[in-house]
Each structure stands twice: as structure tokens, then as C-alpha cells.
């Protein structure tokens, strides 16, 4: 018999290992309870209950029974009853998914307050205003979240009361006014829903739990999940916890603390504190918080106690932790902890420092960083001089350099981004409703809030540049502008440069320069703690990885840069890039040649140019493999556009005969589906002398490098092969030329000949193809295109957004390898190829070669190397190392 499923866990029953079931927050609360930290008691309704609710519209029957039992336990622990008329217990109801989704789902506080219990709370706390303020907050939150009333109606009612009392903030409304406001709120609910605000605390609780479940499918939450690649079907847990109050006077307060600085990773406790405030006030950034160090003078013993708990947590989790805490009349409570979100810089520094401190192993430190973070650190930074005076300073909440035009609401950022414009989203503070705009913008700038405000936390999580709390800016979203103290006015559409590392904003576009990390990676020398941490993790990745990392490069400069960044050769040198620019005329001559001798002449003119290209690259990669791919794209790509040419001819008084001929050639070569047409190996077989010229150029470059005392390791790669017959023909021609050059020059050299696997047929007949190949290189761009029947040039711009929205794709298959389909072909071909030729070398040179998730797949598939653009090499090395752990 299987044990019945349990849907509700008291905090004391759970642990950190139960995050799938209890969500991140629930698991953290359970763990803190277990290790003896002062956590207000409570219980968690599991993600499983949520899944059932989302699937059927009702929670399982057991939830009600188990929650009632857990509530009784909670009431006994607190010595008070939920919503009791004299001294009521109040609870908070908070979401908490497996992965943190800050502010994206609902929270309802002060559950248990009713017309009766509000007076009980007033008496028990001795604070009438506090009690009524809590009650009106509950009605407002409950009305909006549970009963679906437009939040704006409540805001308007508050504004009316403030206007009547002639006060500027709701803090200045006294108890009597709040009593009236509460009545107004209740009337709004009645009018909007035809129902009264519920006076049964148990009913409030049950409905609040359901509303949190529902918020999993709210618009904000869905947008955030898509952006963060969080699966849709995880569901959220719900945490019900005894309320403690930070707004009971000067000896109360609330704050957020980190065990290390989440922006830089620097050691030392860090955070914000707001005296006499409720928890949500800090995260919303509505009032400016004090630095945590101020708590030291406000309440020294609480400060010391908090420091002790932070140390306990970091030792326990062996990682950066953040906590939300509340001080209620001098007593410290920890309301939440999690392994904190951090910037890329902090991730590297913290992992490195924890490794040095002996808290974690080098392998573990490597697991804690990733390629996407490393890439972010390689982005350029602003090159400023003393003359570049910032418009304003704020909190450097999320580092990096971004340029864009100012926009003042989320929708405008989305609109402009869709039109390809870069924007900076400027707000007083952000709320979860700003999420789409934050995703669309290059940077976020706020005039309020600290490093733990919503804007800061979310931007950091996304790796988006953010400066917050730039208090000198007076932001007027309605007028779509902000002003600085010296009277500068910045309107929507004006260009801003935002430096998230320095915490500054400049008017106009500042020049960019290489990042310190980029420089350190190229030079191999560290210049400070961050670069030391980055180089350290890469060195460890290199020592553990099995996959080699090569570069896609087709100039000596790129090759040299790639080598400096750690490339172990070139996995793809695309020779078509050498047919552009001033050489176009020669290529045209080759295409237009009327007979063999004209073609031979054109090819002969291209030969020395190609030879020098290859010699330069072989020199830059001396001693390392250089895989040179023969010409791949359809020839008409090297000719002028058909329409342009026709118009030119039609409008010319004396049309050039050359243009006429060109047009004929363009028309002759026109194809409906050029990507499935005369390209790749087909081209080499169809245009006499083309393969021979390219192979000769390679062979002569090799002999030239040999004569110069070099160690050239060229390999020849035949693209778009579908059957072994094609490869045999191309190979025979290439081998003949290699033998000719060897004989002519009296040298011997080895030049492996291999093929790209980029058609499903090639993958499925790889065993045959391996008979004629020394290596396979998976061209996963074309292989994705041809396996899915998706045009790599059009599909992403056309219906991909819809497919991503509908969940057909979680991510574009051109970005991350589709393991089930395209990846399966890679596995099949590798296995079949190796069975025939055990020495067959295998690699991938499509864009996926630089994609972190795909690299882990290629490692598992047993490939020998990945090849990617030079800029992605450090991240690929790092991920190849992580894949091996």
C-alpha cells in the first residue's frame, strides 16, 4: 500500500532538500526552523496541491483538513487563535515556487482581521492606528488579489482621504480617518463584486491560498518564467506564517540582509533596514531604507544577533544567503532565507572566495558559476574621462554598460524594443507590472529604492544593467521626462548611457572599451580579485574538461584572438568570407566564364589570394588544427541582387554589356529554395576547378608554412554532403591535388579530409559516410534547419515568438540544440561513424557549439570538440569543464 500523499507540512517537518515540494521559500523556512533560528511558526501547502488545483480547479480534499490541523498547531504555538475577537493571531499567505520569482506572484498579509478582531488587535497592541491600517491593507490586498477588484479604485479612495485631510502621505492619516477609509474599501468591494468582505477568518485563509495558487498563471509570472526558462508545470507552494510586525514603533522595523555583497561579492554583511515599517515596504522601495549598519546604533543587540544568524546560515548553506527579517518591539524574527541572487561578478568572486576559505571544493566552485555569467563580464564598459560628468549618481545595483533612449513606462519600452530600438526604462520605482519593460530595455534607472528594491533584485537576476535610487532625479512619468537639480530636462527619446558598475547616468552616448575581464582573458593575467576569480575558475575548467574548444574563425586576426582566448584550433574556417569585397570581381569572372579557359583564368587569379589567407591563418594557429571548409553558399550570393540589376539596366541610357551578361547569369542561377539548392559539395562538383583551386590553395599554404619552419595542421572539410558518393568524388579530386602539390614541392604533409554532417540523410547514413571521412563536424545550423524543415533565415523573425509564447519551444532550436530530434541525429551519426572508423574525430561547428546547455549535451554525446566564435570561447571552456563534473 502506498502512503497517502501529504499536502501540508509544518515548518518543523520540512528541510532544505524538499524544495520541489515546499518551494524555495518553504524549504528555507523549514531549514531555518530545523537549525533553531527564530522563525515565526507556520506551515506550507505543497506544490503538489497547487498542481492538482491548477489542473482541476479545486484543491484536493485533504488540503482543507491538513491545513486546519496545521493551523491548530500554529495557534497552540502562538497561544492565540486566528482572528479571535480579543487578541487575534494574524497570518501571512505567501507564494513560494521551486525557483525564486521575486514579486511575480501574490502575497496577502494580515489574514484574520475582521470588523471584530480589528478592535481586539487595537487593544492588544495598544495601537489603534496600527490596527486599522493593517485592516485596510488586508481589505485592499484581499479585494484586489482574491476578489478581483481593480486596485486603482482603492488607490483613488486613499487619495481622496489624503486630499480631505490635506496630507501628502497615507502615513499621516489618523485612526479615525483609516476607519472611514476601511468603510469605503468595504463599500467598493460590495459595489464591484456584489459580495461583502468575508468576516470568517478561516474563509479568508482558504480563499487567500487559492488566490496564490491562481497567481502562478498570472501574466507577470508567465512572462518571468518564459524569460528565466522556468518550466510551466512546477506550480507554487503557499506559506502560511504567523504575522510579526515591524511597524509597532521605533523599536520595530524590517529589513533585508545579505551575507556578502550581492553586487560585487565582497565579503561582509550587507543590507537595508527600515525602522517602523512592514516588510513589503523595503522590497517595493517606496521609502528609502537605511544601510544595515545603522541598525547597529539603533539596536545593538539585535544587530549582533542578526550577524550571528547570517554567519550560521552561510556556514550551513556554504553560499551567499539573503534574509528578510523583522524586529517586533526589539525581538528579531527571520521571515525568509534563500541562497541569494547575485551579479555575474559576485558569482565568480563568491565561488572563488568560498573555495579559498575551504568552504567548498574547486569542483563545487566551478559548478557555482556559468558561461552566461562569464559572457556578461566580457561585455565592454564605458570609457569615461573626468570631463564626462554624470547627470546623476545612484546605487550601482546591477553592473554593466548600456546605452538607450529614455522611456517612462513599460509598454513604451516593449513597443520600441519591438522596433529594434535600445531603451532605458526610467521609473520612480519599479513594480512587478514593469517586468515586460525591464525585459525589453537595455537598462533600468529608478529614482527610489536601494540595492534590495524590486528593480535591483529583478535586474540583477536577469543580468540587466540597473542604477536605482538616483534621488536627485525628479521623475515625472505622466509628462514623460525627468529633471535634475541643475534644471536639465531629459525627455522621452533622449539618449542615456547607464553605468551599472559605477551607479551613474550620463546624457548622450558614451564610448565603450573592453572590459577588464575581457582583457585579462586575452592576456592571461589578472588585475584584481574579479579577474583572479575568473582565471582561476577557467584554469580549473581546463583541467577537468574532456571536450576541446575550437574557434569558428576565418581571418588571421580572429584566429589570433581566438587562440589568446584559449582556442585549441579552428573548427570551422568559412572560405566564402574570402570571396567578398574587392575579390567579388574575380568571383564574378569565374561565374560568368563562357568556357573552361576563362574559368581557369578566373580561378588562377583567386588562387594566390586564397593561399595567402590560409597561410596567415595557419601561422596564427601554428601547431593546432585548422579545419578549412570548401565553398558552401550558392554562387548567386556573390552576384548583385536581381531586381537592383534589372532596374539599373532598365534605367541606364547605355546599358553596360557586362551588366546584361550578369543579369542573365543571375536569372540562370535563380533558385526558389537556394538553401536546398546548388550549394555545398554540389557546388564543388558542378563548377569545374573550384574544389581543385581551393584545395591547391590550402596545400600550397601548408608547404609555404613548412618552408618557413612552421607546424601547419590544415584539414579539409566538405560541406552539405548527403551521400557517401558525393564525398568520394570530392575526396578523390582533393587527394589528387594534395598529391600533385606534394610532388611539385617535394614535401610530404598530412591533410585529413572530412565532412560536415548537416543533413538528416548524412546523419542516418553516417556509417557509409565514415568510410570516406577522417572526421565529422556537425553543422547543427543546417542540421536544425533541415531536420525541422525550418528556415534558419526567416523562421526566428516570423512565427517563433508565437511558438515561444505558446510553449511549443522553450527556447529557439537554433539557439539551444533540440536534444530529442537534432541531438538524436548527432548521437546516431557519432555512434555509426565510430563503429566504422574508430579513429573518426567528431566535433560541432554550428552556433550550438557556443551555447552552454548544448555544450553539456555534446559532452554527453561523446564528441571530441565544440567550435564557436572567438568571443564565446571562454564561456565554452567553462561549460565544457562544468559538463565534465
Positions touching ligand PEP (CB under 6 A) are: 572, 574, 632, 758, 779-782, 845-846
Q: Is 781 annotated as a binding residue?
A: yes
CA distance 294 to 606: 73
Nearer to Mg ion, 26 or 719 (CB): 719
Nearer to Mg ion, 492 or 758 (CB): 758
CA distance 716 to 481: 59
**Secondary structure (3-state) at 717:** strand
Strands, E assignment, 434-576: 443-446, 465-468, 474-476, 481-483, 489-491, 495-499, 504-507, 512-513, 548-552, 570-574
499 contact, one of Mg ion, ligand PEP, none, CB 5-8 Å limit per kind: none
Cell of 81: 487563535
Residue 580, Cα to own-chain centre: how many angstroms? 35
**C-alpha dihedral, 690 to 694 to 700 to 701, nearest 10°:** 160
734 contact, one of ligand PEP, Mg ion, none, CB 5-8 Å limit per kind: none
845 contact, one of ligand PEP, Mg ion, none, CB 5-8 Å limit per kind: ligand PEP
Nearer to Mg ion, 106 or 758 (CB): 758
Does 399 bind Mg ion (CB under 5 A)? Our answer is no
Nearer to ligand PEP, 28 or 852 (CB): 852
DSSP assigned state of 243:
-
554 contact, one of Mg ion, ligand PEP, none, CB 5-8 Å limit per kind: none
642 contact, one of Mg ion, ligand PEP, none, CB 5-8 Å limit per kind: none
Least separation in angstroms between residue 531's CB and ligand PEP is 32
Nearer to ligand PEP, 318 or 824 (CB): 824
Q: Is 326 annotated as a binding residue?
A: no
Q: What is the DSSP string of 320-340?
A: -EEEEEEEETTEEEEEEEEEP
Tell me the torsion sign for CA atoms 321, 327, 331, 336.
negative
Least separation in angstroms between residue 392's CB and ligand PEP is 45
Distances (CA, A) of 695 to 74, 156, 305, 698: 79, 77, 74, 5
- Is residue 455 within 8 Å of 394, Cβ to Cβ? no
DSSP assigned state of 820:
I
Is 316 considered catalytic here?
Answer: no
Find, among 185, 198, 203, the residue nearest to 149 by Cα. 185
Least separation in angstroms between residue 829's CB and ligand PEP is 14
Cell of 213: 495558487
Strands, E assignment, 836-885: 841-844, 865-868
Residues in contact with 57: Cβ distance below 8 Å, sequence separation at least 6, in sequence order: none
Least separation in angstroms between residue 815's CB and Mg ion is 16
- Is residue 346 within 8 Å of 320, Cβ to Cβ? yes
**In what helix (H) or strand (E) does residue 270 lie, and over which residues does it extend?**
strand 267-275
**Length of the chain, in residues:** 885
Does 782 bind Mg ion (CB under 5 A)? Our answer is yes
34 contact, one of Mg ion, ligand PEP, none, CB 5-8 Å limit per kind: none
Q: Is 779 annotated as a binding residue?
A: yes
- Is residue 366 within 8 Å of 881, Cβ to Cβ? yes
CA distance 653 to 526: 65
CA distance 470 to 55: 45
526 contact, one of Mg ion, ligand PEP, none, CB 5-8 Å limit per kind: none
10 contact, one of Mg ion, ligand PEP, none, CB 5-8 Å limit per kind: none
Q: Phi then psi for 416, rounded to 5 degrees?
A: -70, -35
Least separation in angstroms between residue 626's CB and ligand PEP is 15
Least separation in angstroms between residue 764's CB and ligand PEP is 17
Q: Is 184 annotated as a binding residue?
A: no
CA distance 491 to 424: 12
Does 571 bind Mg ion (CB under 5 A)? Our answer is no
143 contact, one of ligand PEP, Mg ion, none, CB 5-8 Å limit per kind: none
Least separation in angstroms between residue 573's CB and ligand PEP is 11
Is 506 considered catalytic here?
Answer: no
Find, among 541, 544, 726, 717, the residue nearest to 625 by Cα. 717
Nearer to ligand PEP, 417 or 631 (CB): 631
Find, among 125, 131, 126, the residue nearest to 113 by Cα. 131
Q: Which entry of 321, 468, 751, 845 is annotated as an active-site residue?
A: 845
Q: Phi then psi for 476, rounded to 5 degrees?
A: -120, 90
CA distance 544 to 881: 6
- Is residue 565 within 8 Å of 522, Cβ to Cβ? yes
780 contact, one of Mg ion, ligand PEP, none, CB 5-8 Å limit per kind: ligand PEP
Q: Is 196 annotated as a binding residue?
A: no
Q: Is 80 annotated as a binding residue?
A: no
574 contact, one of ligand PEP, Mg ion, none, CB 5-8 Å limit per kind: ligand PEP
Q: Is 10 annotated as a binding residue?
A: no
Nearer to ligand PEP, 379 or 814 (CB): 814
Nearer to ligand PEP, 140 or 780 (CB): 780
Q: Around Cβ 865, how many Cβ atoms within 10 Å?
A: 25
Nearer to ligand PEP, 401 or 817 (CB): 817
DSSP assigned state of 821:
I
**Secondary structure (3-state) at 622:** coil
Find, among 128, 132, 126, the residue nearest to 113 by Cα. 132
Q: Which stretch binds Mg ion (CB under 5 A): 231-239, 462-470, 568-576, 778-786?
A: 778-786
Question: Helices marked H in 623-689 — which ranges?
Answer: 642-651, 657-669, 681-686
Nearer to ligand PEP, 30 or 559 (CB): 559
Least separation in angstroms between residue 376's CB and ligand PEP is 25
Nearer to ligand PEP, 44 or 780 (CB): 780
Does 779 bind Mg ion (CB under 5 A)? Our answer is yes
CA distance 270 to 421: 36
Binding to Mg ion by CB under 5 A, coded x per residue (else -) over 700-739, reads: ----------------------------------------
∠ CA 797-803-804, rounded to 5° = 90
**What's the per-residue H, E or C state across 672-718?**
CCHHHCCCCHHHHHHCCCHHHHHHHHHHHHHHHHHHCCCCCEEEEEE
Residues that contact Mg ion, how many (by CB under 5 A): 3
Q: Which entry of 161, 309, 454, 540 is annotated as an active-site residue?
A: 454
Count of CA atoms in the C-beta half-sphere (13 A) of 336: 27
- Is residue 818 within 8 Å of 846, Cβ to Cβ? no
Applying CB under 5 A, the residues found at the interface with Mg ion are: 758, 779, 782
Annotated binding site: 574, 629, 758, 779-782
Annotated binding site for Mg(2+): 758, 782
* Catalytic residue set: 454, 845
Annotated binding site for substrate: 574, 629, 758, 779-782
Amino acid at each position: 500500500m502506498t502512503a497517502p500523499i501529504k499536502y501540508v507540512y509544518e515548518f518543523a517537518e520540512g528541510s532544505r532538500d524538499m524544495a520541489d515540494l515546499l518551494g524555495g521559500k518553504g524549504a528555507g523556512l523549514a531549514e531555518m526552523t530545523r537549525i533553531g533560528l527564530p522563525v515565526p511558526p507556520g506551515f506550507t501547502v505543497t506544490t503538489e496541491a497547487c498542481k492538482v488545483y491548477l489542473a482541476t480547479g479545486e484543491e484536493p480534499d485533504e488540503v482543507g483538513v491538513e491545513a486546519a490541523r496545521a493551523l491548530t498547531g500554529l495557534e497552540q504555538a502562538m497561544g492565540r487563535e486566528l482572528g479571535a475577537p480579543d487578541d487575534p493571531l494574524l497570518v501571512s499567505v505567501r507564494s513560494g515556487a521551486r525557483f525564486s520569482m521575486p514579486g511575480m506572484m501574490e502575497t496577502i498579509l494580515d489574514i484574520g482581521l475582521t470588523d471584530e478582531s480589528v478592535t481586539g488587535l487595537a487593544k492588544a497592541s495598544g495601537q489603534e492606528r496600527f490596527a486599522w491600517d493593517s485592516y485596510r491593507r488586508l481589505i485592499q490586498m484581499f479585494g484586489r488579489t482574491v476578489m478581483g477588484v481593480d486596485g486603482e479604485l482603492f488607490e483613488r479612495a486613499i487619495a481622496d482621504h489624503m486630499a480631505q485631510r490635506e496630507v501628502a502621505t497615507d502615513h499621516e492619516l489618523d485612526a479615525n480617518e483609516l476607519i472611514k477609509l476601511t468603510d469605503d474599501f468595504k463599500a467598493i468591494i460590495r459595489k464591484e463584486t456584489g459580495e461583502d468582505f468575508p468576516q470568517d477568518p478561516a474563509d479568508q485563509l482558504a480563499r487567500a491560498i487559492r488566490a496564490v495558487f491562481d497567481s502562478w498563471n498570472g501574466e507577470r509570472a508567465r512572462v518571468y518564467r518564459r524569460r528565466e526558462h522556468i518550466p510551466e508545470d512546477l506550480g507554487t507552494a503557499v506559506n502560511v506564517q504567523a504575522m510579526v510586525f515591524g511597524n509597532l514603533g521605533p523599536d520595530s522595523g524590517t529589513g533585508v540582509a545579505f551575507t556578502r555583497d550581492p553586487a560585487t561579492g565582497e565579503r561582509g554583511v550587507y543590507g537595508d533596514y527600515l525602522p517602523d515599517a512592514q516588510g513589503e515596504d523595503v522590497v517595493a522601495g517606496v521609502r528609502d531604507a537605511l544601510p544595515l549598519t545603522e541598525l547597529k546604533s539603533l539596536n545593538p543587540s539585535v544587530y549582533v544577533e542578526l550577524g550571528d544568524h547570517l554567519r550560521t546560515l552561510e556556514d550551513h548553506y556554504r553560499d551567499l544567503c539573503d534574509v528578510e527579517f523583522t524586529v517586533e518591539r526589539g525581538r528579531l524574527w527571520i521571515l525568509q532565507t534563500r541562497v541569494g541572487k547575485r551579479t555575474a561578478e559576485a558569482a565568480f568572486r563568491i565561488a572563488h572566495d568560498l573555495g579559498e576559505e575551504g568552504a567548498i571544493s574547486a569542483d563545487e566552485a566551478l559548478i557555482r558559476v556559468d558561461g552566461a555569467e562569464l559572457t556578461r563580464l566580457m561585455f565592454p564598459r564605458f570609457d569615461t574621462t573626468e570631463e564626462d560628468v554624470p547627470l546623476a549618481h545612484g546605487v550601482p545595483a546591477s553592473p554593466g554598460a548600456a546605452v538607450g533612449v529614455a522611456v517612462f513606462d513599460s509598454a513604451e519600452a516593449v513597443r520600441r524594443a519591438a522596433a529594434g530600438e535600445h531603451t532605458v526604462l526610467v521609473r520612480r520605482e519599479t513594480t512587478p507590472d514593469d517586468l515586460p519593460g525591464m525585459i525589453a530595455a537595455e537598462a533600468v534607472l529608478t529614482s527610489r529604492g536601494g540595492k534590495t528594491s524590486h528593480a535591483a533584485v529583478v535586474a540583477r537576476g536577469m543580468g540587466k544593467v540597473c542604477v536605482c535610487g538616483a534621488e536627485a532625479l525628479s521623475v515625472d512619468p505622466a509628462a514623460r521626462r525627468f529633471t535634475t537639480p541643475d534644471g536639465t530636462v531629459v525627455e522621452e527619446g533622449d539618449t542615456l548611457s547607464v553605468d551599472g558598475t559605477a551607479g551613474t547616468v550620463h546624457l548622450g552616448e558614451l564610448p565603450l572599451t573592453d572590459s577588464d575581464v575581457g582583457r585579462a582573458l586575452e592576456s592571461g593575467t589578472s588585475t584584481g580579485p574579479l579577474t583572479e576569480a575568473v582565471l582561476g575558475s577557467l584554469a580549473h575548467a581546463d583541467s577537468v574538461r574532456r571536450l576541446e574548444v575550437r574557434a569558428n574563425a576565418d581571418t588571421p586576426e580572429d584566429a589570433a584572438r581566438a587562440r589568446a582566448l584559449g582556442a585549441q584550433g579552428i573548427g570551422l574556417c568559412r572560405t566564402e568570407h574570402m570571396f567578398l569585397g574587392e575579390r567579388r570581381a574575380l568571383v564574378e569572372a569565374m561565374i560568368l566564364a563562357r568556357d573552361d579557359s576563362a574559368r581557369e583564368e578566373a580561378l588562377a587569379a583567386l588562387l594566390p589570394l586564397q593561399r595567402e589567407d590560409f597561410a596567415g591563418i595557419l601561422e596564427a594557429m601554428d601547431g593546432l588544427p585548422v579545419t578549412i571548409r570548401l565553398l558552401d553558399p550558392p554562387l548567386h550570393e556573390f552576384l548583385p541582387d536581381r531586381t537592383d540589376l534589372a532596374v539599373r539596366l532598365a534605367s541606364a541610357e547605355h546599358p553596360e554589356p557586362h551588366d546584361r551578361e550578369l543579369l542573365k547569369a543571375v536569372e540562370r542561377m535563380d533558385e526558389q529554395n537556394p538553401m536546398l539548392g546548388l550549394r555545398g559539395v554540389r557546388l564543388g562538383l558542378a563548377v569545374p576547378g573550384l574544389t581543385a583551386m581551393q584545395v591547391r590553395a590550402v596545400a600550397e599554404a601548408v608547404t609555404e608554412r613548412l618552408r618557413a619552419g612552421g607546424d601547419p595542421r590544415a584539414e579539409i572539410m566538405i560541406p552539405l554532403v548527403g551521400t557517401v558518393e558525393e564525398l568520394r568524388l570530392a575526396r578523390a579530386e582533393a587527394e589528387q591535388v594534395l598529391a600533385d602539390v606534394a610532388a611539385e614541392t617535394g614535401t610530404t604533409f598530412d591533410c585529413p579530409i572530412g565532412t560536415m554532417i548537416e543533413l538528416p540523410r548524412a546523419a542516418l547514413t553516417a556509417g557509409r559516410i565514415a568510410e570516406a571521412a577522417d572526421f565529422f563536424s556537425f553543422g547543427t545550423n543546417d542540421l536544425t534547419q533541415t531536420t525541422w524543415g525550418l528556415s534558419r533565415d526567416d523562421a526566428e523573425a516570423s512565427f517563433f515568438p508565437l511558438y515561444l509564447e505558446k510553449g511549443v519551444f522553450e527556447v529557439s532550436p537554433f539557439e539551444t540544440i533540440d536534444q530529442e530530434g537534432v541531438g538524436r541525429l548527432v548521437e546516431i551519426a557519432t555512434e555509426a561513424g565510430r563503429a566504422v572508423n574508430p579513429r573518426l574525430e567528431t566535433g560541432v561547428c554550428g552556433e550550438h557549439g557556443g551555447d552552454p546547455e548544448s555544450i553539456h549535451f555534446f559532452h554527453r554525446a561523446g564528441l571530441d570538440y565544440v567550435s564557436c566564435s572567438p568571443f564565446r570561447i571562454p564561456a565554452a571552456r567553462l561549460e565544457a569543464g562544468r559538463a565534465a563534473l
